[in-house]
A and B are shown apart, each in its own frame.
Chain A
Amino acid sequence: MQTALPTTALPIAAAQPPLPETTSPSEHTPGETARPAKPREFIAFRAQGQDFCIDILAVREIRGWTRAAALPHAPHYVEGVINLRGAIVPIFDLAAKLGLPRIPEHDRNVIIVTVIGKRVVGLLVETVTDIFSASADAMHPVPDLAREEAHAALSGMIVESGRLIRIVDLEALLPSTVEGG
């Protein structure tokens, strides 16, 4: 499980936007969830001891860690920017965004490059654990007692083989970024 995947490009169409339903599965009404939905595939990863996942269609590639150049006047969870084959890509510390401590600097950290809308954005995580599929009825909304940051950045949860995997709302990462800039 601790096998980090250094620079594995996934065979996914590069510019493919995330599926529409990626954005807000938590908004599904019970009626909708009862309908047999096509299972979606997720890529799961760990940050600060917690399990997270994002829709695999939003992932463009997974890279080994590179030092990011710090950005001035940036929100606290922005690591900086890296050079991805000539494109300047911002890196977000997912743990910091959720109100957890920042992910400590480590050579085995991994950057998941995702496409959100038209933007290419990197997520700094500790390890990528696995790829799994889950149907819509396996997803649960984030309970109210969760902290506000968590509510803002997560769109739901999945319980998978005893683990609680939080679904990251990629869209929610962006707007505040722009404000911060």
Chain B
Amino acid sequence: MASSTDLRAIFFEEAEELLTALDEGLRALARGQTDGEVINAVFRAVHSIKGGAAAFALHDLVAYAHSFESLLDELRTGARLPQPDCIATLVEAADHLADLVTCERSGTPLDPDQIRHALDLLKAFGEAGPSQVRIELAFDPVPLAPFEALPLADMPSATSGRRLRIHFRPHADAFRAGHDPTLILRDLAAFGEMDSALDLSALPSPEAFDPTSSYLSWMITLHTDRSEADIRAIFDFIAFHADLDLQPDPAETSAPPPAIVPDLPRSAAPTPPPAAPPPSRPAAPESARDVTTAAQKPTLRVDVERVDRLVNVAGELVIHNAMLTDAINRHPAADPHELARSLDQLRQLSRMIQDSAMAIRAQPLKPLFDRMHRILREAASIAGKKARLEIVGESTEVDRTIIERLADPLTHMVRNAVDHGIESPDRRRAAGKPETGTVRIEAQHRSGRILIVISDDGGGIDRARVQQIAVDRGLIPPSADLGPADIDALLFLPGFSTATTVSSLSGRGVGMDVVRSAILALGGRIGITSTPGEGTALRISLPLTLAVMDGMVVRAGGQPLVLPVSSIVETLSFDGAALHSLGDGGRLVELRGQCLPILSVATALGLTHCPARPQDQVIIIVEREDKSRLALIVDEIDDQRQIVIKSLDENYGHIPGIAAATVLGDGSVALIIDPAELVQARSSRAGLSSFSAAAE
């Protein structure tokens, strides 16, 4: 049975969904879609939140939602028209409602003044409206006292329906009339979840027992969404030979769970006039669900831990497949064709299992992107700018972990776009642009990765200023002659922030370098392009999953290692390469006019090096996210294959230059190299030195 904390968690999860639906509905209203369905969806969202909050005695939330709902009710009944100022108030109210939910969830009480202020605003608006609708707090929530005794605890998912108590007593002559109560009970059970208690008290002593008479009666508790008439219809046939007593479950009427069944007649709570939905509304018990299903396809909430396990097992399967392949290759069997065929099937199968396991974790970016509407709105109002958000490809799916860890960087980039990208309305008018700037988030799948572009139609990067700041902060030498792309890349340097004052938006010292490292940590890359006067675009490329990647298996220092294929630009044989020595023993390779520093992987990792003949060695050119390239020397290239990523941190800890580990076909462990960190592991001057080296 679900505990009260579980129920709370479910309420907050549903509240999130409802808030998203609310936001969506309000945006539709703002676009001029003012038909009844949209307003109803908005109303239902607020109403369901109120109902749920009442069940958990969250008084602030209930009070606010109630006022909010009253205002919406005026819209719904047509007493008020959805004019822009009204919608603006509603949007603000929705934000405040979201804040309240967040506060209740985290248990941090919101400033009471703030709550009162928001409430007053809403009331003031309501009173100033065309109709005199009373917004008094008549709604008196009844908290759910013993959670465990609640019907909804049994079935948090079966949200619709109600509980009925049916007392069914066939008369003594029921059998003789040809009735069979078991058939009726079976039909009844098909209507929903049924609990029946057999009452044997009427059973006579064995001597008086008449096998053709019926002595039994049943006390049935039925959880169903069917109407009472439907239920009575079942008993139609036996109506003359049985007593039937049908009533709502008393356990429920005394403590209605409004989050789930918002429209049950509340006998214990005084019904607030504006808030109570008409009890006769059809499909009313499903209203809580309607809001979410209308907004998005039904989603399956899965315990992440379970899914992780499935992903792990699927990964195992891939490994074992590789092991089998290896074993058979070593001992060639009699019929190689048959073997090859069965192996092929096994490989297909394991890929399928793995893909479907991954699919469970894949989720659309929509909820994340939708949150950006509010971020943009707030950022624009603080900065005194006008901006709107355009979203493309929000149905693109990506691993859940990536979505979670993308939230902060994305928030920051959207704020940056408003704060630094979009110009003030005056300047936009002067430049002949529409006053309202556009921030655009676009997502799409591209060759096994996901590409997200955040662009604005603002003024573009002020390169002269960026360079000046970089010089002022000592990030680059004053004499540095940088191309436009190099200057744009300066934004990603640690400690760079173009805001001269610390505004409450961006510019809190954490700049694009934090965004960049967050993206890098996800195995992604980030790049920036900007056209003066036309805007800036940040392009992020991310892997679809964090569990599997394409790797190149190489050998260095007598040990197999894996390089992510995504970072490899090209490979060279040692012989043909134009090598140059630098004074202190460092070496460079010249490649099409570009000099790249050479790094021996074995040396960088401090592995005991049994040097292969230099001419047998291979040079692998890798590119890091800041576009700087590096030539890695390895002994040989073994293979290129999909590898399953295994954490080293779990049982050991982080190793500089190593991203994770994997298991090869023979069951041995190979470490996965992180090319970006490999250099940092060696030189403390980190990316900066290589950057200025590239610039000079």
Contacts and interface: CB of A to CB of B under 8 A. Distances in A.
A151 to B, nearest CB: 24
A86 B646 contact: yes
B316 A86 contact: yes
Given A68-B669, A70-B559, A72-B657, A88 B605 contact: no
A145 interface: no
Interface of B: 312, 315-316, 319, 557, 559-560, 605-608, 646-648, 650-658, 661, 663, 667-671, 681
Given A73-B657, A87-B646, A181-B652, 7 more contacts: A69-B559, A72-B607, A81-B652, A81-B669, A83-B668, A89-B651, A181-B653
B668 A67 contact: yes
B651 A181 contact: no
Contacts of A74: 655
A121 interface: yes
A177 B658 contact: no
A178 interface: yes
B459 to A, nearest CB: 46
B655 A73 contact: yes
A50 B352 CA distance: 52
Given A81-B661, A81-B669, A181-B655, A86 B315 contact: yes
A73 B605 contact: yes
A181 B312 CA distance: 25
B653 A83 contact: no
Contacts of A72: 605-607, 655-658, 671
Residue of A69, A74, A80, A87 with highest tally of chain B CB at under 10 A: A69
A86 B651 contact: no
Given A87-B646, A88-B646, A71 B671 contact: yes
Contacts of B655: 71-74, 181
Contact of B319 (A69, A81, A86, A177): A86
A67 B669 CA distance: 9
Given A83-B663, A86-B316, A86-B646, A69 B651 contact: no
Contacts of A153: none
Nearest to A78: B652
Contact of B650 (A71, A83, A119): A119
A120 B650 CA distance: 8
A152 to B, nearest CB: 18
A90 interface: yes
A82 interface: yes
A74 B671 CA distance: 13
A73 B668 contact: no
Contacts of A86: 312, 315-316, 319, 646, 663
A83 B652 contact: no
A87 B316 CA distance: 10
A60 to B, nearest CB: 12
Contact of B652 (A70, A85, A88): A88
A81 B605 CA distance: 15
A73 B668 CA distance: 20
B668 A88 contact: no
22 contacts: A67-B668, A69-B661, A70-B608, A72-B606, A73-B656, A73-B681, A74-B655, A83-B667, A85-B316, A86-B312, A86-B316, A86-B319, A86-B663, A88-B646, A88-B650, A90-B651, A119-B650, A119-B651, A119-B652, A177-B652, A178-B653, A180-B653
Interface in A120-135: 120-121
A127 B397 CA distance: 52
Contact of A81 (B316, B648, B667, B681): B648
A177 B655 CA distance: 11
Contacts of B607: 70, 72
A67 B661 CA distance: 15
B624 to A, nearest CB: 19
A135 B104 CA distance: 52
Contacts of A119: 650-652
Given A81-B652, A88-B650, A121-B651, A69 B605 contact: no
* Closest CB pairs A-B (n = 3): A181-B653, A72-B605, A69-B669
Given A86-B316, A88-B669, A181 B605 contact: no
A88 to B, nearest CB: 5
B658 to A, nearest CB: 7
Contacts of B667: 83
A71 B657 CA distance: 11
B605 to A, nearest CB: 4
Interface in A154-178: 177-178
Nearest to B558: A70
A88 B606 contact: no
Contacts of B606: 72-73
B303 to A, nearest CB: 18
Residue of B607, B651, B667, B668 with highest tally of chain A CB at under 10 A: B651
Given A81-B661, A90-B652, A181-B652, A69 B668 contact: yes
Contacts of A73: 605-606, 655-657, 681
Nearest to B608: A70
B653 A177 contact: yes
A69 B652 contact: no
Contacts of B605: 72-73
Interface string A45-85: 00000000000000000000001111111100000111101
A180 to B, nearest CB: 8
A87 B651 contact: yes
B669 to A, nearest CB: 4
B35 to A, nearest CB: 54
A69 B670 contact: yes
Contacts of B681: 73
Contacts of B668: 67, 69, 83
Contacts of A85: 316
Nearest to B313: A86
Nearest to B648: A88
A83 B669 contact: yes
A15 B671 CA distance: 26
B620 to A, nearest CB: 18
A119 B651 CA distance: 5
Contact of A88 (B312, B316, B557, B651): B651
Nearest to A81: B669
Contacts of A68: 669
A37 B312 CA distance: 42
A76 B198 CA distance: 73
B359 to A, nearest CB: 21
Contacts of B648: 81, 88
A86 B322 CA distance: 13
A72 B652 CA distance: 12
Nearest to B647: A88
B666 to A, nearest CB: 10
Contacts of B652: 71, 81, 88, 90, 119, 177, 181
Residue of B653, B656, B668 with highest tally of chain A CB at under 10 A: B653
A131 B648 CA distance: 31
B671 A69 contact: yes
A40 B117 CA distance: 64
Contacts of B646: 86-88
Contacts of A82: 669
A121 B653 CA distance: 12
Contacts of B559: 69-70
A119 B235 CA distance: 62
A74 B657 CA distance: 12
B673 to A, nearest CB: 10
B432 to A, nearest CB: 57
Contacts of A88: 646-648, 650-652, 661, 663, 669
Nearest to A116: B651
